[in-house]
């Protein structure tokens, strides 16, 4: 697949009159340092002018109506008021939160214009990304200049930044330890801005704007009411304008998440919803039968099945990566993902809906047991330990010990303890559900892929007390970490869709939906008699009861193993000339032993291995020309260093 440039934003605050060359074109003629690039759709961008400031909103802002012109003076959204009026109020009050809460999932950039006599690039910004991080911002600063942008590679290019081996090591070996990599990028000194937080950005750097206190926890019933309103509205607004000639399409896997979104879409769309199910005949995931039964329950769903082949299995296109700004594990299976989106494009769908984000928000990590290991919950704690032990074929006593240990430890202490594990990793062994009853679970196998130097550097980072976000429990931290992974997955899928001419939306990642789900304790999201009780209660009466009865999900790991065997030579080729080894991150021989086990059908830490392989493929991929700048000389694009 030819890789183009996905939509993005890049901006510079510079005290000099000669900032670096930037991608794209200016949003406003008189503000040359704020630019858009890639194929943004007209309904994905709002811009507003005020005498002393500008506003840019980019992403899924869920407008009921839109104008094609970027310069919107009075852009009305669902509900009362206008963006322009809210922007004026935010400027007058000094409270940028006047702008939050009305958008689905997007980044917001307030631009304070230079004072008279200052250079045209001497702007100041207030920036905020969506809660999940689907539309992130990265920043790089040097003397008298700060660059912020959607894609870290373009921010890095502006300031000549090199790769960050420690970021690669953390993402590969410690995917569940977000403090080690959450604010890092693949490039040194290019940091990712925290999600859902206002930041003040000037030519001299950035700082977080103090925000309000965390919202209080609510009961399962209250959370379900909030989720019902937020999710139904998120789907309704996306279905506005659907017609027979330009329908809405949606994933229909037969699982509770995507199926609920599809049925909500069918309620609101004025035309039948194209309900797309993926199926690989040679490696069935038990989704097709469930999806067919679900589709038969509503005539407003128009079922369609796309069939995978051996050529669409994971790892079959390692030389054709579909990731742009940074490595994306989903790029290893981009051909499979593209099948659904190509069908959406073929039926001229105005947008395609996914259930991405639901698992992170509606389920509970194993560490939810630690929330129950407190006074007053002894009976429930014992019952949950016993039930999980039966399901996992493990010891209830062992789970209880892990849960109590986790409950007594704060995240910073647990991170310091992790430093010892990183420095002296245990012998490789099974890594399963019980290991997740912890603050920072890590797979021993993945740790041993790292070089001693990389492990030592990660250990120093952990021992140094890396910033731990304000979280309520280990399970809350796990949910936020999985939410970050889901947002990154959706970002890759959205950018893949942009290349195919399809807008890909994930209603579960809207700010209002995320906020509603995170207010419910993880321990309340697990019930012995229901699967995902928060969602089941939220969509009761909106989605057929037969759909809510499914208690399983499709398992696609069989495709990974089949795809790996078919692409064994290509995978080994990546390791033979490992770029990560050149950077001092991994020992190819240690990784090779895990690959041998994968090819033999033995269970391996597949998530970490896919991050590693995606990173190797990304490091080898051609670097595309920066949009809006001259292409590098020569017949081929420049390779990544």
pLDDT digits (tens, 9 = 90+) for 325-358: 999 999 999 999 999 999 999 999 999 999 999 9
Look up residue 520 and give its two tokens.
């419910």
- Distance from C-alpha of 611 to C-alpha of 614, rounded to nearest angstrom: 5
Handedness of CA 121, 31, 201, 10 (dihedral sign): negative
pLDDT of 624: 53
pLDDT of 355: 97
Domain ranges of the chain: 8-208, 220-362+477-552, 368-472, 567-620
CATH architecture of 220-362+477-552: 3-Layer(aba) Sandwich (3.40)
Pairing mode of beta strands 301-307, 351-353: unpaired
pLDDT of 516: 97
Q: Which residues pair with 17 in a beta bridge?
A: none
- Distance from C-alpha of 242 to C-alpha of 349, rounded to nearest angstrom: 8
Band (75; pLDDT cuts 50, 70, 90): very low
Q: Which residues pair with 31 in a beta bridge?
A: 28
- Distance from C-alpha of 116 to C-alpha of 238, rounded to nearest angstrom: 43
pLDDT of 123: 94
Give the rounded distance of the alpha carbon of 278 from its chain centre. 21
Contact 504, 341 (CB under 8 A): yes
* pLDDT more than 70, % of the chain: 92
Neighbours of 407 (CB within 10 A): 18
| 559-573: b (≥16 Cβ within 10 Å) or e | bbbbbbebbeebbee
Look up residue 539 and give its two tokens.
């969509």
Look up residue 514 and give its two tokens.
């995320």
From start to end of 131-198, where are the E strands? 138-142, 145-149, 191-192
pLDDT of 36: 97
According to CATH, the topology of domain 8-208 is: 3.60.20
Is there a shared CATH topology between the 8-208 domain and the 220-362+477-552 domain? no
pLDDT digits (tens, 9 = 90+) for 450-477: 999 999 999 999 998 766 777 899 999 9
- Distance from C-alpha of 621 to C-alpha of 328, rounded to nearest angstrom: 13
Look up residue 492 and give its two tokens.
């890759």
- Distance from C-alpha of 312 to C-alpha of 306, rounded to nearest angstrom: 11
Residue 584 DSSP one-character state: T
Pairing mode of beta strands 248-251, 273-279: parallel
pLDDT of 73: 35
Mean pLDDT for the chain overall:
90
In sequence order, which residues have a C-beta less than 8 Å from that of residue 366 and are 6 or more positions away? 388, 433, 434, 435, 436, 437
CA angle 627/632/636 to nearest 5° reads 105
Residue 605 pLDDT greater than 50, yes or no: yes
Handedness of CA 339, 342, 343, 349 (dihedral sign): positive
Least confident of 67-71, 101-105, 529-533: 67-71
Q: What is the DSSP annotation of 494-546? A: HHHHHHHT--EE-GGGSHHHHHHHHTS-GGGG-BTTBSSHHHHHHTBTTB-HH
Least confident of 183-187, 270-274, 547-551: 547-551
pLDDT of 569: 97
Residue 311 pLDDT greater than 50, yes or no: yes
Contact 517, 494 (CB under 8 A): no
- Distance from C-alpha of 438 to C-alpha of 252, rounded to nearest angstrom: 34
Residue 316 DSSP one-character state: T
Let me know if 80 is exposed, middle or buried by CB neighbors in 10 A (0-12, 13-18, 19+): exposed
pLDDT of 212: 55
Look up residue 185 and give its two tokens.
């990028």
Residue 2 pLDDT greater than 70, yes or no: no
| 475-495: b (≥16 Cβ within 10 Å) or e | bbbbbbbbbbbbbbbbbbbbb
pLDDT digits (tens, 9 = 90+) for 580-593: 999 999 999 999 99
pLDDT digits (tens, 9 = 90+) for 390-419: 999 999 999 999 999 999 999 999 999 999
Neighbours of 382 (CB within 10 A): 13
pLDDT digits (tens, 9 = 90+) for 521-549: 999 999 987 889 999 999 999 999 988 87
Band (322; pLDDT cuts 50, 70, 90): low
pLDDT of 639: 44
Coil, strand or helix: which one is 294? helix
Neighbours of 623 (CB within 10 A): 14
From start to end of 167-244, where are the E strands? 191-192, 199-202, 205-208
* Residue whose tokens read 């004026």: 88
Residue 641 pLDDT greater than 70, yes or no: no
In sequence order, which residues have a C-beta less than 8 Å from that of residue 312 and are 6 or more positions away? 280, 333, 335, 336, 338, 339
Q: Where are the alpha helices (DSSP H) in 31-110?
A: 83-93
Measure the CA dihedral 598/453/488/486, to 10°: 60
pLDDT of 323: 74
Q: How many CA atoms lie within 13 A of 601 on its CB side?
A: 2
- Distance from C-alpha of 469 to C-alpha of 69, rounded to nearest angstrom: 39
Nearest C-alpha neighbor of 312 from the set 343, 278, 288: 278
* pLDDT more than 90, % of the chain: 77
């Amino acid at each position: 697949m030819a890789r183009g440039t996905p939509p993005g934003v890049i901006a510079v605050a510079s005290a000099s009159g000669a900032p670096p060359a930037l991608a794209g074109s200016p949003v406003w003629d008189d503000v040359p340092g704020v630019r858009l690039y890639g194929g943004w759709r007209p309904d994905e961008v709002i811009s507003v002018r005020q005498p002393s400031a500008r506003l840019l909103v980019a992403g899924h802002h869920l407008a009921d109506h839109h104008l094609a012109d970027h310069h919107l003076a009075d852009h009305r959204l669902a509900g009362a008021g206008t963006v322009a009026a809210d922007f004026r109020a935010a400027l007058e009050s000094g409270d940028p939160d006047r702008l939050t809460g009305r958008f689905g999932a997007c980044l917001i950039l307030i631009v304070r214009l230079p004072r008279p006599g200052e250079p045209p690039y001497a702007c100041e910004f207030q920036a905020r990304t969506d809660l999940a991080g689907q539309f992130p911002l990265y920043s790089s600063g040097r003397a008298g200049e700060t660059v912020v942008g959607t894609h870290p590679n373009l921010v890095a290019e502006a300031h000549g930044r090199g790769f960050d081996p420690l970021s690669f090591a953390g993402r590969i070996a410690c995917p569940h330890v977000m403090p080690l990599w959450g604010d890092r990028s693949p490039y040194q000194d290019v940091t990712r801005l925290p999600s859902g937080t206002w930041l003040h950005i000037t030519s001299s750097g950035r700082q977080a704007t103090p925000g309000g206190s965390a919202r209080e926890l609510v009961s399962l019933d209250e959370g379900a009411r909030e989720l019902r309103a937020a999710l139904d509205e998120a789907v309704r607004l996306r279905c506005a304008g659907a017609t027979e000639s330009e329908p809405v399409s949606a994933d229909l896997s037969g699982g509770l998440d995507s199926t609920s979104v599809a049925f909500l879409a069918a309620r609101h769309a004025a035309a039948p919803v194209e309900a797309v199910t993926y199926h690989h005949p040679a490696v069935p995931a038990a989704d097709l039968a469930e999806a067919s039964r679900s589709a038969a329950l509503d005539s407003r769903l128009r079922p369609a099945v796309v069939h995978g082949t051996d050529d669409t299995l994971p790892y079959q296109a390692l030389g054709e990566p579909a990731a742009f700004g940074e490595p994306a594990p989903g790029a290893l299976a981009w051909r499979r993902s593209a099948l659904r989106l190509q069908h959406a494009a073929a039926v001229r769908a105005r947008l395609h809906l996914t259930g991405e984000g639901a698992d992170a928000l509606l389920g509970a990590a194993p560490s939810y047991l630690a929330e129950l290991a407190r006074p007053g919950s002894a009976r429930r704690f014992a019952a949950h330990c016993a039930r999980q032990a039966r399901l996992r074929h493990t010891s209830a006593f062992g789970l209880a010990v892990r849960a109590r240990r986790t409950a007594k430890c704060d995240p910073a202490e647990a991170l310091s303890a992790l430093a010892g594990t990183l420095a002296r990793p245990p012998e490789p062994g099974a890594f399963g559900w019980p290991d997740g009853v912890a603050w920072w679970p890590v797979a021993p196998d993945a740790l041993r892929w790292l070089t001693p130097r990389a492990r030592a550097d990660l250990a120093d980072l952990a021992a140094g007390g890396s910033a731990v976000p304000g979280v309520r429990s280990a399970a809350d931290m796990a949910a936020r970490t999985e939410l970050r992974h889901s947002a990154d997955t959706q970002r890759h899928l959205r950018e893949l869709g942009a290349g195919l001419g399809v807008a890909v939306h994930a209603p579960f990642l809207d700010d209002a939906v995320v906020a509603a789900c995170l207010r419910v304790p993880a321990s309340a999201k697990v019930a012995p008699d229901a699967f995902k009780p928060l969602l089941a209660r939220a969509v009761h009466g909106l989605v057929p009861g037969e759909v809510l009865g499914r208690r399983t999900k499709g398992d696609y790991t069989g495709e990974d193993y089949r795809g790996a065997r078919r692409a064994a030579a290509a995978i080994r080729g990546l390791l033979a000339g490992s770029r990560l080894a050149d950077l001092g991150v991994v020992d190819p021989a240690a990784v090779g032993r895990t690959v041998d086990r994968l090819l033999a059908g033995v269970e391996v830490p597949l998530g970490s291995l896919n991050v590693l392989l995606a990173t190797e493929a990304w490091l080898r991929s051609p670097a595309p020309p920066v949009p809006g700048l001259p292409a590098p000389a020569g017949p081929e694009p420049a390779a990544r260093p």
